[in-house]
Amino acid sequence: MCMHQVLPVRAWDEMITCTILGDSIAKGYSTDKVNPIKCYGRIVTERLSKEYGTWFDYHNFAKNGLDTTGLNEQILSRDTVKWSLNKSDVILLTMGSNDLLNEFKREAQEILNSDTKFRSASQAVGELKEGGKKNPLIVFKIIDALSNWDYGSFENQWIQAMDTITQQKKADAQIIVTNIYNPISNVEMPGTLNKVVENIIKNMNSIIEKRSTEYGYEVVDLYNSNVAAFVQGDGLHPSQEGQELIARMIYKMIENPDEQGKTNVPGQKRKQKGGTKKEEKEEGQVHRNYKTISHL
């Protein structure tokens, strides 16, 4: 039996479809494999579904460790992703932190002349501290290298990603992106590295903000939020509280139907709240009033 035969006709006119793109923050990475973390995209989509009494169709293509080059080459090139963008009402994107972290790790490895492929910024910082004890010039070298980082590559990849997203999206879809908070603000680094990293993030965020008008997306300001106070034990990734904070900030970007008489989700009219208790299912399934209808 096909889903058209199962669902009421009006459900097809009143469905919220959301696509999530980005890195481990958007994916909802958890350092605790036993206790998964619900990502901000899922929280926002479920809240929209509950508020408007609609079904929702949710697709999360975020990937741990993804940078903007990877977004373009590994994710946005896929037909399934383009199809999802083509039918989405809301598109959420978090990207950029790994561009910085990967550059930091590359420079540290090269300057330390190490064969170790650093798996995290914390590991690289630890090696730099040890190396700096033997040769203080090492710290100055990495500060100089990062200070002269060419942002052109990041901006070009960002433009390419937004070109693809805006070409594939529906005309009335809403795109919301988060800017970059300092992923290593809780890591004590040698010398003036903390300040250098802050400046790099500000420059990257200025690129994201600069392109918002051109591509018609809205920017959620994580940099000036306190999301960094709600991170997991690794000091980098948002905890469940951090994800919920991001979700609240994003939700505010979505038009309030009580004030505007409509929602940014096309074809939606506000319904009375209520319904049966929701039975959660895996990503990509469709829901209405917290009652799951599986693809048959």
Q: Output the pLDDT for position 131.
A: 65
Kindly list the structural domains of the chain, giving each domain's residue range(s) and its CATH number in brackets, ordered by start: 3-293 (3.40.50.1110)
pLDDT of residue 144: 79
Beta-ladder partners of 60:
20
Looking at residue 79, its pLDDT comes to 97
Rounded to whole angstroms, how far apart are CA atoms 60 and 291?
20
pLDDT attached to residue 233:
84
CA angle 146, 224, 106 (to 5 degrees): 20
pLDDT of 12-45, one tens digit each?
247 899 999 999 999 999 998 888 999 999 999 9
pLDDT-based confidence at 274, cuts 50/70/90? Answer: very low
Higher-confidence residue of 60 and 104: namely: 60
pLDDT band at 122 (very low <50, low <70, confident <90, very high): low
pLDDT tens, position by position, 147-185: 777 788 899 999 999 999 999 999 989 999 999 998 666
